[in-house]
Amino acid sequence: MVGVVDIDLIYDPNEVGADLVVLTWISQGPRSGDATFDPQPADLVRVTDVDGEDLRARVVGRDGNRVWVRLDVPGLIAHPA
């Protein structure tokens, strides 16, 4: 389809915390010009890093342009002990 964006946000893998949460910026992502893109806590999004590793993530917080997501890393169980 024309105009379909597979990736919502871009993250820096060096900024991922132990809890797999990372800050992203709508204005720096591929959907920055999409007025309908309005990620809210609990939403699922697609993210990528500079190496092109695409992952699913869940929005855990938002403050305007800033969006915090928890990465869903396949094969990794990230549950607190």
Q: Is 79 among the domain residues?
A: no
Is the pLDDT assigned to residue 3 strictly greater than 50?
no
Q: Is 1 among the domain residues?
A: no
- Give the pLDDT mean for 19-45: 96
CATH number at residue 63: 2.40.10.330
Write out 3-21 in H/E/C secondary structure.
Answer: CCCCCCEECCHHHCCCCCE
Domain residues for the domain of 47 are 9-72
Please state the pTM of the whole predicted model: 0.84
Residue with tokens 């500079």: 50
Q: How many domains does the chain have?
A: 1
Q: Is 52 among the domain residues?
A: yes
75 vs 60, residue with greater confidence: 60
At 74, the pLDDT band (50, 70, 90 cuts) reads confident
Is the pLDDT assigned to residue 40 strictly greater than 80?
yes
Tokens representing 67 are: 């969006």
Instruction: Give the pLDDT score at 51.
Output: 86
81 vs 66, residue with greater confidence: 66
Residue with tokens 């709508």: 26
Q: Is 63 among the domain residues?
A: yes
Are residues 38 and 59 in contact, defined by beta-carbon separation less than 8 angstroms? no
